Amino acid sequence: DQQVKQNSPSLSVQEGRISILNCDYTNSMFDYFLWYKKYPAEGPTFLISISSIKDKNEDGRFTVFLNKSAKHLSLHIVPSQPGDSAVYFCAARKETSYDKVIFGPGTSLSVIP
Amino acid sequence: NAGVTQTPKFRILKIGQSMTLQCTQDMNHNYMYWYRQDPGMGLKLIYYSVGAGITDKGEVPNGYNVSRSTTEDFPLRLELAAPSQTSVYFCATRPGGPYEQYFGPGTRLTVT
């Protein structure tokens, strides 16, 4: 039973437009959420996170939105660039439990020049 | 500063063979992790270690063993390889405190 779901395996976006990657979770114990980015033949790298006490966190072109009541979060990339083409993993954990991170299956983003 | 290194990058094993996946870090991080990623699935935690001499099971430990004799190294041992262990294996590290994990480049293992 997947506790973190990313229902879109892939997404294509034109360069300069907004990319929106979605993630749903089922475990209400999760109170900290992360996004990782992965290029081919590399390991995932941490991108951005959000605590459940917030509903938005922004870092440059990347913004994560959290809707706790819907158990849903999304990552917005504006504007999208070809270098953003990668697999994006949504992940969740309890805020104090750094070792027990649950990952979603990932969404492959292609940004078309 | 190499970060997290994993060897080998690729390996093909026959059913029943054994092997050790190596993970080495030069960041002096206390925490180390082993994950596997199957196609279409998220990363699943196999084992982790909070420091030299201390290891603990993750979500999917069956068929694997680990040891942590030094801060730098966290090898993952597969005994009696099975096709179900075909996967990409990632090692990760984390310093103490409120920091996220740093991942190595992965080892792609095929068991036939």
Q: Does the CB of A102 have a partner CB in chain B at under 8 Å?
A: yes
What pLDDT, in 10s, does the model give residues A36-53? 999 999 999 999 999 999
pLDDT over threshold 80, residue B2: no
Q: Which residues contact B44 (CB under 8 A, 6 or more apart)?
A: A103, B35, B36, B37, B38, B58, B59, B60
Q: Do residues B31 and B50 lie in contact, with contact meaning Cβ atoms separated by under 8 Å?
A: yes
Q: Which residues of A are less than 8 Å from B50 in CB distance?
A: 99
Backbone angles phi, psi at B93, to 5 degrees: -135, 165
Size of interface A-B (CB pairs under 8 A): 54
Give the residue on B whose Cα is nearest the Cα of A3: B42
CB distance A91–B42 less than 8 Å? yes
CB distance B45–A9 less than 8 Å? no
pLDDT over threshold 80, residue A94: yes
Secondary structure of chain B in the HEC alphabet? CCCEEEECCEEEECCCCCEEEEEEECCCCCEEEEEEECCCCCEEEEEEEEECCEEEECCCCCCEEECCCCCCECCEEECCCCHHHCEEEEEEEECCCCCCCEECCCEEEEEC
pLDDT over threshold 90, residue B1: no
CB distance A44–B104 less than 8 Å? no
Q: Which residues of B are less than 8 Å from A2 in CB distance?
A: 42
Q: And the tokens for B1?
A: 């500063």
What pLDDT, in 10s, does the model give residues B58-96? 999 999 999 999 999 999 999 899 999 999 999 999 998
CB distance A99–B33 less than 8 Å? yes
Average pLDDT over every residue of B9-15: 97
Q: Does the CB of A113 have a partner CB in chain B at under 8 Å?
A: no
